[in-house]
Amino acid sequence: MKMSLGIVVFFIAIFCNSCNDLNPNKMKINYESMMIRIAEIEIDSAYLEEYISILKKESEVSIRQESGVICIYPFFQKGKPTQIKLLEIYASKDAYESHLQTPHFKHYKTATLKMVKSLKLIDMTAIDAETMPEIFKKINH
C-alpha cells in the first residue's frame, strides 16, 4: 500500500514539530522577569578546598535539574582564592525561590555555614538581556 506524498509530508511535519526541542531544561525566558545576582563570598582559608567541592556540586546539580536556573557560575578573584563570586541568573523570582527550597541548595547552605566569613548579595539588571542566548550558544562542551 503506497502513501501519497501529502500524507508523508503531513507526518514528517507533525514529527518535526513535536521534536522541535527535546531538551526538557530549555525554556523561553521573559527577560523582564529574569533575576540576575552577583554573590560575593569570602571563605575561611582553612575550609577553601572543602567549600569549593561543595559549591561545584551544588551549582552543577542546580543547572542540570532546575529549568529555572539559567546560570550559577562560580569564580574567584585572581591571587585571592578565598574571594569567591557567583554569577546567578534565574528565569524569574519564582525560579529563585524554588531553588532555595531544593535539597541540594539546603545542603550547600548548611554544610558551608561555618566556612563563610562574609556574604554579600547584589541584585543586578541586564542592560542587553536579548544578547544573552547568543553568549551561551558560543560555548561548546
Determine the average pLDDT of the residues in 96-124. 97
- The Cα-based distances of 16 to 8, 12, 22, 140 in angstroms read 12, 6, 11, 24
Residue 66: which of 37, 101, 39, 110 has the closest Cα? 101
> Which residues in 56-92 are b (16+ Cβ under 10 Å) and which e?
eebbebbeeebebbbbbebeeeeeeebebebebbbbe
Grouping H, G, I as helix, E, B as strand and the rest as coil, residue 43 is: strand
Confidence (pLDDT) at 80:
97
pTM of the model: 0.76
Determine the average pLDDT of the residues in 4-30. 46
Confidence (pLDDT) at 20:
36
What pLDDT band is residue 55 in, cutting at 50, 70 and 90?
very high
What pLDDT band is residue 22 in, cutting at 50, 70 and 90?
very low
Grouping H, G, I as helix, E, B as strand and the rest as coil, residue 139 is: coil
pLDDT tens per residue, range 119-133: 999 999 988 877 877
Are 59 and 104 in contact, with CB atoms under 8 Å apart? Answer: no
- Pick 1 or 134 by higher pLDDT: 134
Q: For the chain, which domains are there?
A: 30-137 (3.30.70.100)
- Residue tagged 569567591 (cell numbers): 84
- Pick 95 or 137 by higher pLDDT: 95
pLDDT at 57 over 80: yes
* Segments in the chain forming alpha helices (H): 5-18, 48-65, 93-100, 103-112, 132-137
Across the chain, what does the average pLDDT equal?
Answer: 83
